[in-house]
Copies of this chain bind each other. A is one copy, B any other.
Amino acid sequence: MNTPKLLVIGGVAAGASFAARARRLCEGAEIMIIERGPDVSFANCGLPYYVGGEIAARDALAVQTPATLQGMLNLDVRTHCEAVRIDRANKRVEIRHVDSGASEWQSYDTLMLAPGASPLRPPIPGIDDPRILTLRNLQDMDRIAAATETGMRAVVIGAGFIGLEMTEQLHRKGLSVQLVELQQQVFPQLDGPMTALLESELRHNDVGVTLGDGVARFESGEDIVRCHLNSGKVLDADMVILSIGVKPDTDLAAAAGLQLGPRGHIVVDEFQRTSDPCIYAAGDAVETADRVLESKVVVPMGGPANRQGRVAADHVFLGNKSRPYPGSLGTAIVRVFNVAAGITGWSEKRLRAAGRAYETVTVNDHQHATYYPGAKPLTLKVLWEPESGRLLGAQASGFEGIDKRLDVLATAILAGMTVEDLCHLELAYAPPFGAAKDAINLAGFAACNRRDGLVKHTTELPTDPQVQVVDVRPKPLAEAFPAPGKAINIPFPTLRANLGKLDPARPVITLCAFGKMSYFAARVLAQNGFDVTSFSGGLKANVDPRSPAKMPAS
């Protein structure tokens, strides 16, 4: 290639990254970006925050403009242009000017498809009401921002991260918000129990949360949109945000005969090449390798999109010397008011659905040393492969330091580390930042105790009346927040002196607030000949994390 021509369809994350990297590698290339909308390289992930006013300047969201891309990268950016057909045989694409309707052909040596994904809008009766909105680009954002006013009622359908972020931001703008989710939990990527804090934070902020329910139909009134849910419940709204997922914009790729995956995503190899070696694809429209277990995965997020675009450009110009895209992990985080929760790698329900063996442990801790002011609870869940101990996934939830734990665990997963390795991660510790034994170390300890047979865990309270349930929390806590079922309260420091109260012939389950004391108690009892199991993670779920009652028990 002497003066190769690169044609890029879609100029946001993946497309813009591809073009920028291509320019760094080849000053001489002709690089043209075709973008249907008026904007390129804008900050998708920031859109909700503008609606709520947290991001005040709209300009801040336009990371680059056609003019800056021309000036900085010598890119030929054609906005308001749509690619309507790929002629692979002649290596050209038909481009239609959205405003005039005129069309023209543009040739390419290399074609990059970065069309993205669009919000799902299923054929629910009444869905065409203009007050039912989705959020994909700056124009959608402007439409929502213009339509919202303090005091209005909004219904947000779908509690994934866009739904959660929109809920928070509409609330911030003074709307009263109802959030509806088909699954029995918010943030469905996580395992249910790990979303308890998110849900409680939403309710704490007077957001209505309806779980396990979906929209049967919308009824358009003059002043309101009436949302009829499957359950029969009715929610009245001045506006509705539909955030139930996205589908890849791959009609163009399909029409060109490129190989697609089972859910319509473009199939690419490790260099982001499609089934046509002159055509690359990247971003929300592709499926990639999973980085943990051999399988395909779709991760429609900004990070993978940007890095895939870069990998593709490297391969165009560096060929086999370039480095492959190693696959996606699916790291995600959401902030809702004062709490955050996130995931990296595989969840328990995904592992179960795939029929994969796993073990898991949940620990409750704080983001930094408790003796330093401002310590706040966090919960960490870690999943691993039973035989090898290799990490498969992790989830975190809490007030502060959630992104840090997820990032460390994402790194550990990508490195192929085991739960044993977590024990001796040497993390940065000064009182404002961490603890001598970080929650991640503790998760490693707990997992190893299990693997070494030092303790048996359960996450379910027994129904068998033969089992003795021993609540080892301090008496005031046990009385204020009684354990469910029939439990005998023996505060841990008095346990050794009260072994006689338990029948050594019957099994015992120990429980406490956070799962730590119950482990201590299980060790005491096991060494005294009891068949004992510790209730993992503690009764915490029954305790409002904002209640001061939780602290003395830790």
Query: Considering only CB atoms, which chain B residue lies closest to A449 in the complex?
Result: B24
Query: Considering only CB atoms, which chain B residue lies closest to A525 in the complex?
Result: B27
Are A411's CB and B425's CB within 8 A? yes
A241 beta carbon closer than 8 Å to chain B? no
Residues on the B chain within 8 Å of A323, using CB = 420, 423, 448
* Nearest-Cβ distance from residue A156 to partner chain B, whole angstroms: 17
Q: Report Cα–Cα, A432/B341, bound state, in Å.
A: 13
A304 beta carbon closer than 8 Å to chain B? yes
Are A369's CB and B46's CB within 8 A? yes
Residues on the B chain within 8 Å of A24, using CB = 454, 520, 523
The listed residue with most B CB atoms (<10 A of its CB), out of A55, A404, A527, is A404
A434 beta carbon closer than 8 Å to chain B? yes
* Nearest-Cβ distance from residue A13 to partner chain B, whole angstroms: 7
The listed residue with most B CB atoms (<10 A of its CB), out of A334, A424, A432, is A424
Q: Report Cα–Cα, A328/B427, bound state, in Å.
A: 11
Per-residue CB contact flags for chain A residues 275-311 toward chain B (1 = under 8 Å, else 0) read: 0000000000000000100000000011111110010
Contact of A371 among B43, B325, B344, B407 (CB under 8 A): B43
> Which of A1-9, A56-64, A176-184 forms contacts with chain B?
A56-64
- Given A43-B369, A43-B371, A333-B429, is A493 in contact with B407 using a C-beta cutoff of 8 Å? no
A458 beta carbon closer than 8 Å to chain B? no
Per-residue CB contact flags for chain A residues 357-377 toward chain B (1 = under 8 Å, else 0) read: 000000000000111110000
Q: Report Cα–Cα, A445/B55, bound state, in Å.
A: 29
Residues on the B chain within 8 Å of A427, using CB = 303, 331, 403, 406-407, 410-411
- Given A307-B423, A329-B426, is A412 in contact with B411 using a C-beta cutoff of 8 Å? yes
Are B371's CB and A61's CB within 8 A? yes
Are B493's CB and A71's CB within 8 A? yes
Q: How many copies does the complex hold?
A: 2
- Given A371-B43, A371-B63, A428-B333, is A403 in contact with B433 using a C-beta cutoff of 8 Å? yes
* Nearest-Cβ distance from residue A326 to partner chain B, whole angstroms: 5
A28 beta carbon closer than 8 Å to chain B? yes
A417 beta carbon closer than 8 Å to chain B? yes
A535 beta carbon closer than 8 Å to chain B? no
Per-residue CB contact flags for chain A residues 314-346 toward chain B (1 = under 8 Å, else 0) read: 000010010101101111111100001010100
Residues on the B chain within 8 Å of A417, using CB = 411, 415
- Given A305-B436, A433-B340, A520-B24, is A428 in contact with B332 using a C-beta cutoff of 8 Å? yes
A524 beta carbon closer than 8 Å to chain B? yes
* Nearest-Cβ distance from residue A327 to partner chain B, whole angstroms: 9
The listed residue with most B CB atoms (<10 A of its CB), out of A26, A402, A423, is A423
A74 beta carbon closer than 8 Å to chain B? yes
Query: Considering only CB atoms, which chain B residue lies closest to A54 in the complex?
Result: B373
Are A373's CB and B326's CB within 8 A? no
* Nearest-Cβ distance from residue A144 to partner chain B, whole angstroms: 17
| A contact set with B: CB distance below 8 Å | 13, 24-28, 43, 45-46, 49, 54-56, 60-61, 63, 68, 71-72, 74, 161, 165, 291, 301-307, 310, 318, 321, 323, 325-326, 328-335, 340, 342, 344, 369-373, 402-404, 406-408, 410-412, 414-417, 420-421, 423-434, 436-438, 441, 445, 448, 452, 454, 492-494, 496, 520, 523-524, 527-528
What 17 additional pairs, Cβ within 8 angstroms, besides A301-B429, A305-B436? A13-B436, A45-B369, A55-B431, A302-B429, A302-B436, A303-B427, A303-B436, A331-B427, A331-B429, A333-B428, A333-B430, A334-B430, A344-B428, A402-B428, A408-B408, A410-B426, A412-B415
